[in-house]
């Protein structure tokens, strides 16, 4: 086959390869930090983190007023409270398993549930371990609502929670689609 006959085929193959690479790169783009999609990924990652599944299986998980679940809600201050996402944690097989991550579906009871919010920059810093969970709460870099004594007794698993922010990629270029001006 001559070069003239092969050249158009090569161009088509290069074009197809470029389209495939572009679509794979787009599919690999991280979800927006604290969006529904990101919360779902965070929930899945939770279940592969023994620091959380085992570390929170005791008092933290069972302090639930007999409901059989705990709620953890969080959001980025720069995106507003309307952008909050929720994790639902239940006892399963002796572990604290995440069964839902996404838009809030349940009304939290801050006598047993938790709400955390911080600026995007502070969430990113906490994901890198700077500051640690105790300093983050004490310095006000992480705003926190919920039973403080229960949280303080679970500070080591809470550290695992914050470090997971660095392990579950999230784009910070925009706010989650659910964010409304607040």
pLDDT value at position 9? 52
Which residue has 């969006």 as its token pair? 35
Q: What angle do CA 45, 50, 51 make, to 5 degrees?
A: 95
CB 54, CB 68: distance < 8 Å: no
Rg, C-alpha atoms of the chain: 21
How would you classify the pairing of strands 114-118 and 70-76?
parallel
pLDDT at position 49 is 97
Contacts of 137 (CB under 8 A, 6+ apart): 144, 151
Position 13 confidence tier, pLDDT thresholds 50, 70, 90 = very low
Stretch 57-71: mean pLDDT: 94
pLDDT at 145: 95
DSSP per residue, 4-57: HHHHHHHHHHHHHHHHHHHHHHHHHSPPBTTSHHHHHHHHHHHTT-HHHHTTTT
Residue 170 to residue 181: CA distance in whole angstroms: 21
Tell me what the mean pLDDT of segment 84-110 comes to: 97
Q: How confident is the model at residue 168 (pLDDT cuts 50, 70, 90)?
A: very high
pLDDT at 59 over 50: yes
């Amino acid at each position: 086959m001559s070069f003239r006959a092969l050249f158009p085929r090569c161009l088509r193959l290069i074009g197809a390869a470029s389209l495939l690479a572009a679509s794979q790169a787009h599919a690999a783009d991280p979800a927006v930090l604290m969006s529904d999609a990101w919360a779902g990924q965070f929930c899945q990652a939770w279940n592969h983190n023994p620091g959380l599944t085992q570390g929170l299986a005791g008092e933290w998980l069972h302090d639930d007023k007999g409901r059989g679940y705990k709620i953890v809600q969080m959001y980025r201050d720069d995106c507003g409270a309307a952008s909050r996402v929720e994790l639902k944690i239940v006892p399963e097989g002796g572990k604290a398993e995440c069964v839902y991550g996404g838009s809030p579906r349940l009304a939290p009871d801050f006598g047993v549930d938790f709400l955390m919010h911080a600026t995007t920059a502070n969430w990113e810093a906490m994901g890198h371990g700077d500051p640690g969970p105790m300093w983050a709460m004490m310095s006000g870099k992480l705003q926190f609502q919920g039973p403080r004594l229960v949280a303080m007794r679970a500070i080591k698993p809470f550290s695992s929670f914050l470090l997971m922010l660095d392990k579950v990629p999230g784009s910070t270029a925009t706010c989650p689609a659910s964010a409304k001006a607040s």
